[in-house]
Amino acid sequence: MGSGGDGRRSAAVAIVSSALFVVVVGFAITRAPGWDEVKRTFFDWGYFKDSVPEIARAFKLNVKIFCIAEVFILAFALVLAVFRSLPGPVFFPLRALAIVYADFFRGVPTILVIALLGFGAPALQVQGIPRSVIFWGIVSLVLVYTAYVSEVYRAGIESVHPSQEAAARSLGLTRLQALRHVILPQAVRRVIPPLLNDFIGLQKDTALVGTLGAIEAFNQAAIDTSATFNYTPYVAAAVLFVAITIPLARFTDWLILRDRRRRQAGSVA
Amino acid sequence: MRKILLALAALAVMAVASAFTAAGSSAPASASAIPGCAKAALNLVGDGTLTVGTDNPAYPPWFGGGTPYKGSSWKINDPNTAKGFESAVAYAVAQQLGFTRSQVKWLYTPFSRSFAPGPKSFDFDINQISYTPARAKVVTFSASYYNVNQAIVVVKGTKIASVRSIRGLKPYKLGAQLGTTSYQYIVNRIRPSSRPAVFPKNDAAVQALKNKQIDGLVVDLPTAFYVTAVQVPNGKILGQFPTTAGGEHFGMVFQKGNSLAGCVNKALANLKRSGALGKIQQTWLAKATGAPVLR
């Protein structure tokens, strides 16, 4: 019972300290000399109400970009990670390709990849190459995030003990079968939290496609802001992004918890 | 020994500096032509200098002079040359207020910084910024220094190039620069069936037009002439749009409530009365007239 009492007490302490924190920070901010101006230009309820429906409509484009890109990223990154973990000198070209790819696309800022492809590729004026900026925005995000996510996969693959593969091979599985049925299932499960972490990053980076002219949430907010010189639409866009990433973060937590419970249950049995 | 050298160097610097200030004050700085706007009484960011903001790159016909000298931080046209309409207007206003050429300092100010809250780092920003009542709640605008019409640029030989009416533009993909009233014009007046594209800078919008990612680019009329003359050689001005009710004008942007705006307005009124503003417009924007009006 003692632990229940402790729980209640620590909950109370947490509530009091949080409240105190909010009060102190709130006091400091509202006492700042520019607070009135900030309140007027960033937190105007009228502008907020007016801008939300349009930004929400534009936000659908972010979600669409995110969903399409995600599917390709998951597939391509897995292929790249497998390339990189292939053993033996025969596969050196594939390994090298995977390394160069990951180095390059993790090194170039996403916004540059988007600008280069979004304006450069259509400028070739080649028949059959799409001109849609959304298409090129998605391609850029897939290229960049594939590099990140392949590293996450690779970490997962390398975390599976070599004895697992040895055991699988000794049961008569081929190297590919061992990878498919033994290594990858364990590897992927372990890296789900960092994978979701990258998804959250991707969700936010969809806003970069706006630099090509597509009207997504950030661009719509920028349009509203520049029309009125009031920044409240930016706050509205931020609220929308947070509203979608927070559930994703909680879902990640839940997955981790479930996984841990299962593994603990497994070890008991 | 080192200390003495340092002291000597400091002395030399001070001597040079005082020589310069002496030269500055002895120069025949024309006294302010406007009563109540003595230079010393103006509310300025930097003492004795007029700090003027504009974007970089600065585009003709608003800024001119061509490729700047080596070491200039301006990429296409250096506003310090006093060439181009807005540069010339800024210097004319400065002269009215009693500033010499060398007392005008240009400051790179992207459009998005021009209205950022908090103290401004420029005295005024001149960057083809249109007056709207909502914007005027946040910043102070000068009186009009140019009354502007919107126009549409297309690529010759494309389908849109044969359109002759505003309604005919509806089925096309149009674009504009972020923060411009051109975008507002597309959304509120043309009302196209597909969403317009919006670009952070002029060069991105022009590239999209060249790539045929957009069919038509809506810009102000003088910019349209520059775009078709230089940036998109196979482009053409499809037409200009009729003046909207109440008209649209460019104003200089000031910190909200800056008393300097009143003096600049008096200077602009002087320039209009004397015909000087008309002459500047004739010099830099003469070519920017006479596009067919779309109805």
pTM: 0.77
How many structural domains does chain A have? 1
Nearest Cα residue in chain A from B181: A227
CATH of residue A76: 1.10.3720.10
| Domain-embedded: residue A14 | no
Nearest Cα residue in chain A from B200: A211
The pLDDT score that the predictor gives to residue A4 is 57
| Domain-embedded: residue A32 | no
| pLDDT tens-digit map of B184-233 | 899 999 999 998 999 988 888 999 999 889 999 999 998 998 899 888 98
The pLDDT score that the predictor gives to residue B13 is 52
Q: Give mean pLDDT, residues B22-44.
A: 66
Nearest to A84, CA basis, from A149, A29, A39: A149
Q: Give mean pLDDT, residues A36-40.
A: 85
A265 or A170, which is more confident:
A170
Percent of chain B residues topping a pLDDT of 90: 54
Q: Give mean pLDDT, residues B272-281.
A: 94
The structural domains of chain B, with segments of one domain joined by +, span: 39-146+248-285, 149-240
Q: Give mean pLDDT, residues B35-45.
A: 87
**Cβ separation of B212 and A132 shorter than 8 Å?**
no
Which residues of B fall within a CB distance of 8 Å from A123? 207, 210-211
The conformation of residue B145, written as its DSSP 8-state character, comes to: S
- CB of A38 within 8 Å of a chain B CB? The answer is yes
- Best interface-test mutation with B: which of A36, A211, A229 has the largest number of B CBs within 10 A? A229
Q: Are strands B150-155 and B235-240 parallel, antiparallel or unpaired?
A: antiparallel
- CB of A125 within 8 Å of a chain B CB? The answer is yes
Closest approach of chain B CAs to the CA of A63, in angstroms? 17
> How far apart, in Å, are the Cα atoms of B163 and each of B198, B215, B225?
22, 11, 19
Mean pLDDT of chain A: 89
What single string gives the DSSP state of each residue in A3-48? HHHHHHHHHHHHHHHHHHHHHHHHHHHHTSTTHHHHHHHH--HHHH
Expressed as residue numbers, the domain containing A69 is 55-263
Q: Give mean pLDDT, residues B69-79.
A: 83
| Domain-embedded: residue A124 | yes
| pLDDT tens-digit map of A88-127 | 889 999 999 999 999 999 999 999 999 999 888 888 878 8
Closest approach of chain A CAs to the CA of B176, in angstroms? 9
| pLDDT tens-digit map of A212-251 | 888 899 999 998 898 888 999 999 999 999 998 888 888 8
Q: How many contiguous H segments (helices) and E segments (strands) does chain B have?
A: 8, 12
The pLDDT-based confidence of B2 (bands split at 50, 70, 90) is low
| Domain-embedded: residue A127 | yes
The pLDDT-based confidence of B179 (bands split at 50, 70, 90) is confident
Homologous superfamily of B149-240 in CATH?
Answer: Periplasmic binding protein-like II (3.40.190.10)
State the Cα angle at B34 between B31 and B38, rounded to 5°: 55
Which residues of A fall within a CB distance of 8 Å from B134? 227-230
The pLDDT score that the predictor gives to residue B16 is 47
| Domain-embedded: residue A101 | yes
The conformation of residue B154, written as its DSSP 8-state character, comes to: E
**Which residue in A122, A213, A227 is closest to B184 by CB distance?**
A227
- Would you state the CATH architecture of domain B39-146+248-285? 3-Layer(aba) Sandwich (3.40)
| Domain-embedded: residue A207 | yes
| Domain-embedded: residue A159 | yes
B57 upstream amide cis, omega within 30 of 0: yes
**Cβ separation of A228 and B207 shorter than 8 Å?**
no
Flag whether pLDDT at A186 surpasses 50: yes
Which amino acid is present at B101?
A: R
List, in sequence order, every residue forming a beta bridge with B154; answer none if it has no partner: B216, B236
The C-alpha atoms of residue A230 and residue B73 are separated, in whole angstroms, by 30
Q: Sign of torsion, CA A70 A122 A210 B120?
A: positive
| Domain-embedded: residue A47 | no
| pLDDT tens-digit map of B162-177 | 999 999 999 999 999 9
Fold agreement (B39-146+248-285, B149-240)? yes
Q: Number of A:B CB contacts under 8 A? A: 84
The C-alpha atoms of residue B63 and residue B85 are separated, in whole angstroms, by 6
- Tokens representing B178 are 């972020």
| pLDDT tens-digit map of B5-28 | 555 555 555 554 444 444 434 334
